[in-house]
Structure 1
Amino acid sequence: MRFMYKNKQKIINFYCFALYALYALFTLTILGYGVYFLEELSFSYIEIGLTIGLSALISSIIQPLIGMLVDIKQYSWKEVLIILSIIMLISSLLIFIAPNSLLILLFGLMIIILGCIYPFLNQGIFYYEHYGIKTNFGVSRGFGSLTYAIFAIIVGFTIINNNIMIINVYSLMTSILMLIIVYLLPFYGNINTKNTNTKKKFKNNVLTKYPSFTLIFISMCLFMIFHSIFMGYMINIFENVGGNVSDISIANSIIGFIEIIPMFLFTKLLKKVSAKKLFIIASIFYVIRSIVILNAQDTMGIYLSIILHIFTYPIIIPATVHFTNEIIPQEDKNEGQAFMGSTITIGIIFANLIGGNILQIYNVNLLLISLVIISILGCIFALSSLLYKD
């Protein structure tokens, strides 16, 4: 009996690792190579920017609404992931045959669905904990970072010798595999709690009910703006200190690999420090990192800031997921994870608005100053959350 339990636990963890690896592949093909994919299909920068920005905006609005609907109607995270995987599969299939006017809309839909998938992956991880099956979000997310780092190189090489649609082939295969794995994951029924409120109203959302969560949510939005600006305009930041395109490839590889260490060790860190305190520590390092970027005189200064990435992004991502799971009651968990998941797409939206306008009207130096301001504000909101008991 004990052997069967351990075997079941290993299988479930393997599936969870695989899901985050597949999600990383989606992120790579849809967002990592998205601009290049649409550019090669002759879309203008304005069309590409509008598509990505509007899709991210729609996704950030839809995510909490889906989370609230799931909590109200008592749908399962598994049902939602199956539906979202099917939509992603159909969209990627249609891209092969769609005319350009429809193709870009389908690509936008894939961006929307990508954002909606993430919070329900997180909810699935903690679902099994309720039934005594130990899962590890940090290791699962770490496998995602490892997959991203490896496939960034693989996809890059395959694009060179193949038609641009090879990028969509990766998306198609990923959606098929995700659908299969979600289907194979065991489901033991919805978690019932005595406090579940079936009369929950859409106006009574988690942001109005849990002040500490709200402050961390705002802080997370600011740090995701920081992250998206740095990742999206990295070429401009490197060129400002004498770097070039080759530095981007090196930087992306370093970022992917150094994320693995803290994510794999995150569960052990949680035994010594709470999720909220880890988030606050990471927020302080965001301020330090922004100052290092602002004062960088050459590429080594930017690379130093990338090394400091190990204390920021790969800490706050699992920290917010664990924090949300710990303080939000069962009846609001899907909504809470959806709100926290939406911070990534909110970051993309404002990063493009802030970064694009600053570079168009002013210069990179002002962009770097904005990173310092954003990180300081994020740190202030994080520290303010200490005023409230979880």
Structure 2
Amino acid sequence: MSVNARYRLLQGGYWMLFCAGYGYVTVFLLAEGFSAGAIGVITALFGIFAAVLQPWLGRLADRGGRFGWKPMLLVLAALGLGDAVLLCLRPPQAVTGVLFGALLMLISAMMPLVNAASFHYRSQGKPVDFGSARGVGSLCYAVLSLVLGQLTARLGGGIVPLAVLGAAALFLLFVLLMPCEPAPAKPKAEPKGDRRRGFLVRYPAFCVMLGASTLMLAFHNITNTYLIQILGAVGGDSADLGVAIALAAVMELPVMFGFSRIARRWSAGSLLTIAGMAFVAKGVWYLMAGSVWGILAAQILQMFSFALFASASVYYAEESMEEQDKVTGQACMSCTITAGAVLGNLVGGWVLDACGVGILLAVALGMAVTGAVLAGVSEKL
């Protein structure tokens, strides 16, 4: 099996795990008796832990040697599998919240390593198409979401830990299948010239884009984590949730599979700005939707919002960073997903409990607008 085929399996396994964890966190925790505010606190708290962990793992991976992406990914995948086993044992409510939060932290920490693997192989002259692999990930996400939506509607949210367990086992297997030729350890050297300057000074546009990405993803996380409540406000249920998530994932496929061609014509920064404008349009559509069909129609904009963001953000980090900072750059960009989850889930849970779905969507739209503006500013720096 070629490296490209194995990498597609790796992305597929990862996004199945992401779907079972992040896609159905609210369904599962609501079934376990948690309020929307408590769910926001759990996801935010462990998101903060992940935000600290991701750059640290990135710096380790940048050094090469025995701290390469694959050994670290194996450890994280094994920990995720163990966490899923414990969840399936149905511990007390408080322990369940901690375990599921830890699972989300581990899934977040895996993302920069999964993305960095493609550039690791490309640097060795092995053809790996990140866009098509990420498209396979979206396809797997869509299929599992559709199945899980039906299962949770019939059997309840308690089925989610079993789905997490199966996805974690598959992902660990796919990590083991990946060939790994460790990069040589990079010798430590005294900082010279630009290396003495701080990250913000060396990469000002990148840092502004990190802020933009965080806000865009705060919108994305609010409208995903609390999508079951958004649908419930217009008469939907968990079966409709499965359809909505699956539809969004399918909408990602044309962009994912064609991204290598798109990237030849547009810079990654420009594509992130376009994604920001699409997030705004999606927010407006959510506010205007008065039925389940309206919410489903808004999911079509996933093609131009998150689909563009997911691929362009990886390329943006690769284009913006110096060679010795590339995995750190991937980790920082992945950190915005975590930071967006912290901001979106925490604020979203509080607003939803206090003010309802309408105000929640208005707040989310405000975040998307600010993020789009900052992305445009970053392009001018």
Please classify the TM superposition score into its range, dividing by the shorter chain length: 0.7 to 0.9
Partner Cα separation in structure 2 for residue 204 and residue 72 of structure 1:
19
Distance 1:308 1:166, change over 3 A: closer
What residue in structure 1 maps to residue 312 of structure 2?
319
Query: How far 1:316 sits from its partner (Å)?
Result: 0.9
What residue in structure 2 maps to residue 309 of structure 1?
302
Q: Give 2:148's match in structure 1, choosing from 155, 174, 198.
A: 155
Matches within 5 A, 1:207-218: 207-218=200-211
TM-score by structure 1 length?
0.85
**Does the 8 Å contact 1:72/1:199 carry over to 2?**
no
What residue in structure 2 maps to residue 188 of structure 1?
181
2:105 counterpart SS class: helix
**Does the 8 Å contact 2:36/2:349 carry over to 1?**
no
Matches within 5 A, 1:243-258: 243-245=235-237, 247-258=240-251
**Does the 8 Å contact 1:26/1:174 carry over to 2?**
yes
Does 1:23 find its partner at 2:38? Answer: no
Partner Cα separation in structure 2 for residue 247 and residue 291 of structure 1:
20
Task: Structure 1: give runs of 5+ residues left out of the alignment.
Answer: 1-9
Q: Give 2:260's match in structure 1, choosing from 267, 275, 299.
A: 267
Distance 1:300 1:158, change over 3 A: closer
What residue in structure 2 maps to residue 5 of structure 1?
none
**Does the 8 Å contact 1:219/1:382 carry over to 2?**
yes
Query: How far 1:43 sits from its partner (Å)?
Result: 5.4
Question: How big is each residue's C-alpha offset from its partner over 1:208-230, in whole Å with a ceiling of 9 and x where there is no partner?
Answer: 53112112111111110111111
> Could you tell me which amino acid in structure 1 is paired with residue 164 of structure 2?
S
What residue in structure 2 maps to residue 61 of structure 1?
52
Partner Cα separation in structure 1 for residue 232 and residue 154 of structure 2:
28
Matches within 5 A, 1:342-357: 342-357=335-350
Distance 1:282 1:98, change over 3 A: closer
Identity across matched positions, percent: 28
Query: How far 1:54 sits from its partner (Å)?
Result: 1.2
Tell which deviates more after alignment, 132-141 or 147-156. 147-156
Partner Cα separation in structure 2 for residue 376 and residue 167 of structure 1:
33
Partner Cα separation in structure 1 for residue 88 and residue 131 of structure 2:
36
Partner Cα separation in structure 1 for residue 308 and residue 301 of structure 2:
11
Does 1:107 find its partner at 2:100? Answer: yes
Question: How big is each residue's C-alpha offset from its partner over 1:321-352, in whole Å with a ceiling of 9 and x where there is no partner?
Answer: 01111221221112111111121221221112
Partner Cα separation in structure 2 for residue 206 and residue 16 of structure 1:
31
Partner Cα separation in structure 1 for residue 277 and residue 83 of structure 2:
41
What residue in structure 2 maps to residue 88 of structure 1?
80
What residue in structure 2 maps to residue 33 of structure 1?
24
> Could you tell me which amino acid in structure 1 is paired with residue 52 of structure 2?
I
Distance 1:290 1:140, change over 3 A: same
What residue in structure 1 maps to residue 71 of structure 2?
79
What residue in structure 1 maps to residue 218 of structure 2?
225
Question: How big is each residue's C-alpha offset from its partner over 1:17-57, in whole Å with a ceiling of 9 and x where there is no partner?
Answer: 11111111211222223333344455566654433221122
What residue in structure 2 maps to residue 6 of structure 1?
none
Partner Cα separation in structure 2 for residue 146 and residue 56 of structure 1:
25
2:265 counterpart SS class: coil
Tell which deviates more after alignment, 359-368 or 227-236. 359-368
Partner Cα separation in structure 2 for residue 170 and residue 235 of structure 1:
18
Larger CA Rg, structure 1 vs 2: 1
> Could you tell me which amino acid in structure 2 is paired with residue 14 of structure 1?
A
Partner Cα separation in structure 2 for residue 298 and residue 158 of structure 1:
23
